Every structure is written in structure tokens, then in C-alpha cells.
Structure 1
Amino acid sequence: MADVEISDAEKVRIASDFIKHAPPGEFNEVFNSVRMLLKNDHLLKDKCVEAISQYNVNQFVPVKLEGVEKQTLITPYNDLGNGRFYDEVSRKSFKYDHMRKEASDVQPHQSEGGINEQWRAALQKELDHYVDEHYSKSGVGVCFARNGSFNICIESHQFQPKNFCNGRWRSEWNVPVGEGKSGSQELKGRILSQVHYYEDGNVQLFSDKEPLIKVQISADIEKTAKDVLHAICDEEAKYQNAIQENYACMSDTTFKALRRQLPVTRAKMDWNKVPTYRIGQEMK
């Protein structure tokens, strides 16, 4: 059979799919593997940039800005276009290198100001308390305000390649606060967790949930900010507990459902009679 020639466009599509589905903490390994398969650095770096940038944005990759104490995140909500993003807390914008995962050309950035900044600052204050209390040292939480819309993004990860295990938690919440909003409002969220364990095997967990909860909004900015983060805390705790309970009973339910408990004869093997079975004779 003659070899089939694959076009450059198809090579880029395949390479981009590998890159966009790289497990957390293993992007470099996947990229290097794709590079060896493609054997065309020009094609990889020039044509797969969009897949690499999309991966970083979707993963809420944390980034450290020079002269800024806390990290910020690379998300769709602070994307200014042309490879620039901004940090709400420090009010600075920066150029982000998606290949090197580094920030440069840090410049002042003007926030929306006014009542929107009051809401954002109050939400950020409560978010900082929540992340410090419930997430590991790698946890980062940022509240973004853009065009009158408020979005909370949280990222936390544990990369332990020596133990063959990497994982990332991401959650985002569209917060229904701002001018003219009061009473019971819907808080829309999305929680994603991904874990990859690859010692003597390859096991991945990917969970995606989109909760919708009610929160009470009032003109009291500080109280409303506390109520919003309290609602987020409760929902994320329920999600985490549900995963733990699911895995606690999985060995007795899900795993057993993957195999037949009895052979097709519906009778257990009598090992004392193995020599009389045909299989016993063949084993001799």
C-alpha cells in the first residue's frame, strides 16, 4: 500500500489537538513530543501559536508580574488582544509570551473606576480571604470587571512529576452585581478539575460542572460581596465532597460493573476440580 502524504494543514490540525489536550503540568512534554513527530519547527511555532495561546487561556495559567506581589491569571476576561492582558489588582497591562509563559512590557492600565471599582475591590477582598483559607499556596483568585460585568476566576494546581501525578482546579463565576441589580439574582458558575496519574499506567479524571445558584443582592457592597463568596464556598465544597464520595464507593460499584462477576456458565470456578477440567489437562 502506498504511503499517504499528509498536508501541512492536516499536520497543524493534529498537532494543535495534541497541544490543546495536554494534561496540566505536562505542556512541555506534549509540545516536545509533537515537535519530534512533526519535525518542522517553523510549522509548529508559526501555525500552532493559536492552539498554544488557547490552551493557556483555557487553563487559567498563573503569571507573575515584575514588582507585583501576587500572581494574576491568563483568562478570556482580561484579554486585551494582540497578546496583551491586564491585572485588575495592580492595574497594569502586560505582554504575554505563550511559548515561554512569561510577562513583559508591563505598563499602567486604567480600570473602569467609579461604582464598578468599588464592587470589584469588595469582591476581590473577600476572594483573597477565601483563596487563602481554602486553597493551597498555589491558589490564585482574581475578580475581573469589564464592561460592567464581574467575573471571578480561581486556579490552583499541584504538579508532582516525581510522583507521576499532576492536577489543576479551575472555577469561574459570573457575579450578578452592579448598578441597578438587587434582590435574588442567579450566580452562574463553572467548576473544572483535571488530574493525571501515570505511574505504570495512564489514568485521567476530568470533571466539569456548571452550577446555578441564587444569591441576594443589595446596595450594601461589603455585605453582598461576603454573601457572594459564601455562596461560592458552599457550592465548591458540595462539588468537592461529591467527588470524594463518588470515589469512595467506586470500587464497590463502578469498577465491578466493568467486568463480569460470574463466567458465562453463571457458576463460580471450583478450583478443587481443576484437574478434571479440560483446561486442567491442557495446563499439565
Structure 2
Amino acid sequence: MPTEDVVRRVYTNLLSQAPPGEFNAVFDDVRNLHEHPALLDEQTETTLTTYNHANFLPVQSPELPRPTVLSVYNVVNQAEQLYLEPNSNLTFNWDPIKRVVTSTHKSTLSFDPELVAWRDAVQKELDLYIDDHFHKNGVGSVFIHEGKLVLVISSHKYMRRNYYAGRWISNWSIPAYKKTTQVTVEGHANVLNHYYEEGNVQMNSSKDFVLNVAYAAEITAAAKEVLKSICEAESAWEANLHEKFTNFSETTFKLLRRALPVTRTKMDWVKAHAYRMTKDINDPKSSQ
């Protein structure tokens, strides 16, 4: 029998790999696999919090003026499930089991005024980018984290009727604004799609980015340049993915087919048909 620690690790690994929007389904399946439901319940909230952070779970609630995400960059108190929504300067409590905002509060957090101004400028440009590229399902938030800005994009789409779920997430570390400065903007993007009608097919692809961006002398122009560079990088990667999957379906899948039968000779269908006709003539009962 495995020890309790081993069972906990197995539960955590299985739950952490749940595709977008399918955590509850995986949880139910795991519960039916083993006879330690109490251990599973112990792991659920901690694992679910980590899962939400890793997937930048979008949060949209009547309690909040605008959508945001759950992440390590805006968590204020993880034990209390308290997060910051910087655009409205609110903190909110999140119930990870019910997936709802339970309360909101005026934020008492304080940040460097220059970083706040820089955050606001980048957020404004990010909103335009989200409207252009993710307008139906996208959420974009900019957080102040460890003296820098962290820009987070999260776009989730669940279509259970069509047995499909997927999401695009990306995050970018943006240095503090200084006039006429060449900076390095680092980013990471991940795409995960899951199709599960009579099967289980997943596509998981990631990309790291390092961009050199020259900050303009004016803060608004600098924010535009940052988002322009991010847009170009993400769009180029998306186009590359599309090209690879087009080639994959046209070449790789065909190579997976057996070129010849096990006899290593092509089937002569004309002879096969003639043989069948001859057999039927000689033995009429065989065609009945």
C-alpha cells in the first residue's frame, strides 16, 4: 500500500494537469479511483489555488468593476484568498471551491507613484491590445510586483457541447520607466487545447521571449512601444504555430499511414474484384 504522502503527491499531480475548465471533472474521476477521499479533500484547496495561479484564472464578478485574473502577482494574502484588482484599487476575497468573489474592500496597499503612473499607461495600451486580439474571451491586467510591472494576459474558452476546451496565457516582466532607456522585456506564453470527443487529444505549447525595447522620452509613447513589441512577438509565434500545424496535418499525419500492406505489395483491386466474381459463379451459395 502506498503511504499517505505518496497518495497526496499523486492526487496533486493529477489535479494539477487538469485541462482548462475541467478541474472539477478530474477531481470527480480521481475521487472514484482511490479509497482515500479524505486525503483528496485535504489537497484540493491548496492544489486548486496553485492551479488557478498557473492558469491565470479569469475572474469576472458583479462585485468588481472590471475583470481580472488570479495570480502570484496580485495575491495579497493567500491564506485568506485575498487578491488585488489594481484598476479599481480594490482587494477581493475569492472562494476557490465555489469560484465566486465573496467580498471586496478598498485597497490599503501603497506603491511608488511613478510606478503607478507607468502601470496606468501600460494598462491603457494593454486594454487596446486585448480589444483587438482577445475581445471575446480575453482579460489583461498589469500588476506592480517587486519594483517592476508584470503584464498578464489570459484567454479561456470552454465548449463542453463540442468536447473542447482551451486557453492562451502569457506574462511579461516590464522594467520601471526611465526616459530614453534601452530595456529588456522578458515574457512567457503558453497555449493549451483539449479535445475529448471519443478520445483525449491535447496540444500544449510554450514559448519564452526576450525583447529589447527602447523607452521613448514620453511615458505614453513608451507604453505604446512596449505593447507594440509584445504584440509583434505574440503574433509571430501564433503564426508560426499555425504554419506548423498546417504542415503537420499535410505531411506528418500522412507519413504515419502504412505505405504498403504487410505483404509489401500494392493491392490490385481489379484482380480482387475479378476473383470475387469468379468465386461467386463457381459457388453460387457463397454469395448468399
TM-score interval (norm. to shorter): 0.7 to 0.9
Cα distance in structure 2, aligned partners of 1:251 and 1:66: 43
Cα distance in structure 2, aligned partners of 1:103 and 1:38: 32
The DSSP-based 3-state class of the residue aligned with 2:130 is helix
**How far is 1:135 from its partner?**
0.6
Cα distance in structure 1, aligned partners of 2:105 and 2:233: 37
Correspondences of 1:84-103 after superposition (within 5 Å): 84-103=82-101
Q: Is this contact kept in 1: 2:68–2:85, CA < 8 A?
A: yes
**How far is 1:39 from its partner?**
4.2
Segments of structure 2 that go 5 or more residues without pairing to the other structure are 280-285
Distance 1:157 1:78, change over 3 A: same
Distance 1:68 1:164, change over 3 A: same
1:248 is aligned to 2:246: yes
Q: Is this contact kept in 1: 2:177–2:219, CA < 8 A?
A: no
The DSSP-based 3-state class of the residue aligned with 1:166 is strand
- Report what 1:157 is aligned to: 156
- Report what 2:282 is aligned to: none
Q: Is this contact kept in 2: 1:151–1:174, CA < 8 A?
A: yes
**How far is 1:65 from its partner?**
4.6
- Report what 1:126 is aligned to: 125
Q: In structure 1, what residue type is equivalent to 2:33?
A: L
Cα distance in structure 2, aligned partners of 1:147 and 1:13: 31
Correspondences of 1:14-163 after superposition (within 5 Å): 14-80=10-76, 81-82=78-79, 83-109=81-107, 110-163=109-162
Correspondences of 1:247-266 after superposition (within 5 Å): 247-263=245-261
Segments of structure 1 that go 5 or more residues without pairing to the other structure are none
**Residue of 204, 207, 216 corresponding to 1:206:** 204
Q: Is this contact kept in 1: 2:177–2:215, CA < 8 A?
A: no
The DSSP-based 3-state class of the residue aligned with 2:231 is helix
Size of the alignment, in residue pairs?
Answer: 274
Cα distance in structure 2, aligned partners of 1:222 and 1:46: 48
Cα distance in structure 2, aligned partners of 1:25 and 1:211: 27
Cα distance in structure 2, aligned partners of 1:21 and 1:216: 39
Cα distance in structure 2, aligned partners of 1:75 and 1:211: 20
Cα distance in structure 2, aligned partners of 1:114 and 1:76: 22
Cα distance in structure 2, aligned partners of 1:186 and 1:264: 57
Which structure has the larger Rg?
Answer: 2
**How far is 1:182 from its partner?**
4.1
Give the TM-score of the pair, scaled to structure 2: 0.87
Q: Is this contact kept in 2: 1:65–1:106, CA < 8 A?
A: no
Percent identity over paired residues = 35
Q: Is this contact kept in 1: 2:63–2:104, CA < 8 A?
A: no
